[in-house]
Amino acid sequence: MDADPPGPARSERLSAFAQQHGALVTLVVAVLAAWLSFDTFMTTDNTQNMAVSSAFLAVVALGMTFVIVTGGIDLSVGSLFALGGVLAAWGSQYGSTVALLLPLAVCGLIGFVNGLLISRSRLAPFIVTLAAMLGARGILLAATDEGSRTYLVDKDSFFATLGQGKVLGVGAPVWITVGLFVAGAVVLRRSRFGQYVYAVGGNEDAAALMGVPVARTKTAVYTLSGLCAGLAGALNAAWLVSGVTILGSGMELEAISAVVIGGTLLSGGFGFLSGSLLGVLLLKVIQNVINQIGSLDSAYQQVVSGGFLAVVVVAQTWLGRRRRVL
Amino acid sequence: MPALPVRSAEVLSVAGLSKTFPGVRALDGVDFTARAGEVHALIGENGAGKSTLIKVLTGVYRPDPPTAAGTGVLTYDGSEVEFATPLEAQHAGISTIYQEVNLVPLMSVARNLFLGREPRGRLGLIDFRRMHREADTALRGLGMRVDVRRPLRELGVGAQQMVALARAVSVEARVVIMDEPTSSLEPREVATLFGVIRMLRERGIAVIYVSHRLDELYEVCDTVTVLRDGKAVHTGPIAALDQLRLVSLMLGREIGDVREEGLTKFSGGHDAEAEPVLRAAELTVRHLLRSVSLTVRPGEVVGLGGLLGSGRSETAKAIAGALPPDSGRVVVAGVPVRTGSTPAAIRAGVSLLPEDRKAEGIVPGLSVRENIALAALPGLSRFGLVDEARVDRVVDTFMKRLHIKASGPHQKVGELSGGNQQKVLLARWLAMNPKVLLLDEPTRGIDVGAKAEVQKLIDELAGDGLGVLLISSDMEELIEGSDRVVVLKDGAVVEELGGDAVTEDRLLRAIAAAPAAPTHSPSAAPSDSPDARDAPGDDQAPGDDHD
């Protein structure tokens, strides 16, 4: 990543800093506060658990970041996550390769169709991915007899170790996620495709006039988002050693929240993957803390997450207005 | 002067090219040829088809299918081509600078410069060090020194335009098309641009140059093609035509008429005795305005003079409530107006025609009728329901009065030419029955004919007793159009010229002689120019929340 050059004014620099590192600062504060408040927070078990459960959301948020940087939105990822999990669990009876590739193929295809409809038919991303969200949920119910059938994954298969295994004491999904984020960051910041993603989100008309393949770029990001959601679902199924149909609802909003908290602009053209990762961790830490406060109903998780998101968006709007991000 | 003795090789040409949009024949059998090492001016009124022709040449639009053999085809480098996308045209070596800066504001200068052709190193990853170095070199070549890693939007409009220029010429282009490249440039930048154009000509590149500033054409162009109503009405060496002849070709009028009416349509001379309808006192906005005071009387056109970034637009915005001042008062017809509130200003009878009609004015997807009625709807409604018949009457009145050229009130405004869009905006504000009209660059980017009409209209409106505040970069327009000119510099009023003192000479002197903020040597970074300061300053306007 290239360093951000010094801005012209202190206030400008300050708001740029807040936009880029706000999530990090908040995360550090939240972790420290939780550490000091709860003996159970910094235990190996708890951090392991948080890390692995963050991993799945993080993979979804990775794809979502690309989509949001182009100025779009993908509401289908929650359904695709659940679908990916069930397909992986079902496919695992035919071997680990099928378990991994089937969800990627199906979810990637749905993402690709989303992308085509959005870029070629110029339909609104919100509507297209909302339709995909409902449709994928339907396929899921059909595949599981209305959710009554649960497919199990063989605990000894290679596929199960992708979810259950540990390397250096850290869960495999965490390593996979870290690897994906490093690769994703390189693609977003250092590849030509990454430049196209920013250009499309920053000024679509200008990008088209400068020769950026706008339609192809958009199709690619929705395909990527579908792939990420499917992979996250598959990894989750490997972790749970079963495909659980009820998972993933509301996950699209969680992923969007994480991306926005991480500093990516919903209007597109600005954002970075490290922020999305921090956003995911922040959401998970907050959830964890609320779970630790036994007296609080877990329903409050959503209240706090929602409130937090509101604060971030207001702050972003405020910062954006100061910098007139358009 | 006779035609050039040796015509150089044809690079890009079209013959019998037509392009039809729903209801409009934008191009009608146009012949056009760009030659290597030749600067070819393309001029015409708005709606004459210049932009359409450029967009066909650059692959944005596809021409109509040929009606006869050899017509409607693009010939590039000796062979027939079809560009399906702008990218194909660019790869073929046709590079374009569009009138409105078409870059990505949030991306860095270097990224904008190299988007789509970034230098790549190992693994196909972008080599940022090389990219920044090359970007820096390219911009220095144009006399610009900026930090190429900074986001583009931190530069002023003029500097952004120079980046677009650098982008266009740094590719291996064989044809460079410039659509109104100077409309947002400072004189110094214009000189640089002309230098670049001459360099391109020497390199044997074909340059197609579109501009409304006729003086410029004579300075840099060799050949001129005049478009009118979608047809190429004249092509030939520009030196063989004088300006008057050029204007008459564009307008399709006889020279006698043009000479008689003059180049601007202002009559000038209004009653200067009446009580001011607008009184702005000591308007101050941090970084932007310093205690600006001015008055406008009914029937008077007051010009706001000064360079780009001197606070002209900001003054108008502060008066119209679009820019909340830190201090100062606005009084309309003797009644104080709450500052910083657009609704309050509109209720008081202040209407602002914004500078950037694309971003701040028209709603392109709505019809002419809807655009005109938009602001006036509260007054045209009863119990919250719109009185359609009254809207029709109002729209009809203004379409006729302002000569808005549209297929009808239901045509989308986005489909109209720039001049007609501007008239629609004017109609919108006139439908509010304003007392004061603030016009920010009302004729920028519109053609000579529409310009004359708008100027005449301003004159008439003032004649009807409206107070008009006119902002214009067009010296002639400002001088002929205004009864008085208030000259701004660095956000403060430096002089007020009235009556016979409103001359180009006095105006220039006022701008030049006033105590200036730090002056800029020619080598100074454009980001230090008033222009560059203007844009981010505008951005930082506290509480600037109208978007």
- Shortest Cα distance, chain B CAs vs residue A112, angstroms: 22
- B540 touches A at CB < 8 Å: yes
Predicted local distance difference test score (pLDDT) of residue A165: 82
pLDDT at residue number A113: 95
Tell me the pLDDT band of A105, cut-offs 50, 70 and 90: very high
Provide the shortest C-alpha distance from residue A200 to chain B (in Å).
8
| Spatial CA neighbour of B444 closest among B467, B471, B483 | B471
Q: What is the pLDDT of residue A316?
A: 66
Q: What's the rounded Cα separation, in Å, for the pair B404 and A132?
A: 45
- Is A27 within a domain? yes
Interface of A with B (CB under 8 A): 2-9, 11-12, 186, 190-192, 195-196, 198-199, 201-203, 205-213, 269-270, 321-326
Q: pLDDT digit string (tens) for A214-247?
A: 899 999 999 999 999 999 999 999 898 888 777 8
**B389 and B426 belong to one structural domain:** yes
Same domain, B429 and B439: no
Confidence of residue B124 (pLDDT cuts 50, 70, 90): confident
Q: Give the residue on B whose Cα is nearest the Cα of A322.
A: B540
Residues B46, B166 share a domain: yes
pLDDT of B199: 86
* Residue B458 covered by a domain: yes
Query: Is residue B236 situated within a structural domain?
Result: yes
Chain A residue closest in CA terms to B111: A195
pLDDT tens-digit profile of B225-258? 998 888 888 898 988 887 777 777 776 655 444 4
Residues B315 and B225 in one domain: no
**Burial (CB count <10 Å: 0-12, 13-18, 19+), residue B371:** buried
Does A16 map to a domain?
yes
| Statement to judge: residues B237 and B272 lie in one domain | no
* B324 and B183 belong to one structural domain: no
**b or e along B167-181 (b: 16 or more beta carbons within 10 Å of the residue's beta carbon)?**
bbbbbebbbbbbbbb
High-pLDDT (> 70) share of chain B, %: 82
More confident residue, B362 or B525: B362
B40 domain residue, yes or no: yes
For an interface test with B, which of A191, A209, A264, A325 has the most B Cβ atoms less than 10 Å from its Cβ?
A209
One-letter amino acid of A151: Y
Chain A nearest-CA distance from B109, in A, is: 11
Residue B517: per-residue pLDDT: 41
* Whether B362 and B343 share a structural domain: no
Say whether A2 and B86 touch across the interface (CB within 8 A): no
Query: Which residue among A12, A199, A211 places its CB closest to the CB of B90?
Result: A211
Q: What is the pLDDT of residues B468-504, one digit of tens each?
A: 999 887 777 888 888 899 988 778 888 888 877 777 6
Q: What is the pLDDT of residue A324?
A: 43
Partners of A324 on chain B (C-beta within 8 Å) are: 153, 538-540, 544
Residue type for position B132: H
In a domain, B29, yes or no: yes
Taking the C-alpha atoms of A291, A297, A299 and A301 in order, what is their torsion angle to the nearest 10 degrees?
A: -40
Torsion angle, alpha carbons of B538, B539, B545, B547, to 10: 100
Four-residue CA torsion sign, B319, B322, B326, B331 = positive
pLDDT digits (tens, 9 = 90+) for B495-504: 888 877 777 6
In a domain, B120, yes or no: no
Q: In this structure, what are the phi and psi dihedrals at residue A98, rounded to the nearest 5 degrees?
A: -60, -40
- Domain total in chain A: 1
Q: Are residues B96 and B174 in the same domain?
A: yes
B2 touches chain A (CB under 8 A): no
| Structural domain range at position B417 | 358-433
Phi and psi dihedrals of B326, rounded to 5? -70, -35
Residue A210's domain is classified under what CATH number? 1.10.3470
Region A74-98: mean pLDDT is 90
In this complex, which of A5, A190, A192 lies closest to B147 when CB atoms are compared? A5
**pTM for this prediction:** 0.66
Helix (H) or strand (E) holding B231: strand B231-237
Please give the average per-residue pLDDT across A148-159, as a whole number.
80
Distance CA A212, CA A287 (A): 41
In tens, the pLDDT along B108-120 reads: 999 988 888 888 8
Check CB contact under 8 Å for A324 and B539: yes
Strands B73-76 and B10-21: antiparallel
B415-465 pLDDT, tens digit each: 887 778 888 888 888 888 888 999 988 887 677 777 888 888 888 888 888
Report yes or no on A101 lying in a domain: yes
Is it the case that residue A291 has pLDDT exceeding 80? Answer: no
Flag if A324 and B106 touch (Cβ within 8 Å).
no
Which among A324, A325, A326 is the top mutation candidate for probing chain B, defined by the most B β-carbons within 10 Å of its own β-carbon? Answer: A324
Residue of B nearest to A185 (CA): B125
3-state SS assignment for residue B497: strand
Q: Are A326 and B547 within 8 A, CB to CB?
A: yes
Structure tokens at B150: 């900074």
Most confidently modeled range among A147-151, A197-201, A257-261, B172-176: A197-201
**What percentage of chain B has pLDDT greater than the value 90?**
10
Q: ∠A99-A100-A104 over CA atoms, to 5°?
A: 120
Beta strands in chain A (DSSP E): 166-167, 170-171
Give the B window 109-148 contacts with A, CB below 8 Å.
111, 115-116, 118, 120, 124-126, 128, 147
Q: Is the pLDDT at B33 greater than 60, yes or no? A: yes
ipTM of the complex: 0.77
When pLDDT is cut at 50, 70 and 90, the band that residue B391 belongs to is: confident
Contact (CB, 8 A) for A312 and A283: no
Are B93 and B212 part of one and the same domain?
A: yes
pLDDT of amino acid B120: 86
If asked whether residues B244 and B270 sit together in one domain, one would say: no
The type of residue at B279 is R
- Please tell me the total count of domains within chain B: 3
Question: Which domain, by its residues, includes A140?
Answer: 10-323
Instruction: Give the C-alpha distances (Å, rounded to integers) separating A70 from A223, A286, B96.
Output: 13, 28, 24
Question: For residue B90, which residues of chain A lie inside 8 Å, CB to CB?
Answer: 210-211
Residues A71-76: what's their mean pLDDT?
93
* Adjacent-strand bridge partners of B330: B280, B337
Q: Find the CATH number of the domain harbouring B460.
A: 3.40.50.300
Q: Which position has the higher pLDDT, B360 or A291?
A: A291
Residue B200 CB neighbours (<10 A): 20
How far is A81 from A237, CA to CA, in rounded Å? 10
Q: What is the pLDDT of residue A9?
A: 59
Indicate the pairing of strand B278-285 with strand B327-332: antiparallel
Contact A198 B91 (CB under 8 A): no
In a 13 Å sphere around the CA of B268, the CA atoms on its Cβ side amount to: 17
Contact between B111 and A209 using a beta-carbon 8 Å cutoff: no
Examine residue B192 and state whether it is found in any structural domain, yes or no. yes
Q: How deeply is A219 buried, as exposed, middle or buried, from its count of CB atoms within 10 A (0-12, 13-18, 19+)?
A: buried
Average pLDDT, chain B: 78
A1 within some domain: no
- Are the beta carbons of A245 and A86 closer than 8 angstroms? yes
Burial class (CB in 10 A: 0-12, 13-18, 19+), B390: middle
One domain, residues B210 and B305:
no
User: Which of B233, B261, B289 finishes a domain?
Assistant: B261
**Residue for token pair 């972003």:** A316
* Closest-CA distance of chain A to residue B533, Å: 10
- What is the CA B386 to chain-centroid distance, rounded? 34
- A25 found inside a domain: yes
Which residue in B87, B118, B547 is closest to A211 by CB distance?
B87
Cβ-based contacts of B102 with chain A (< 8 Å) = 203, 205-206, 209-210
Is residue A4, in this structure, part of any structural domain at all?
A: no
Q: How far apart are CA B278 and CA B294, in angstroms?
A: 8
Residues B319 and B243 placed together within one structural domain of the fold: no
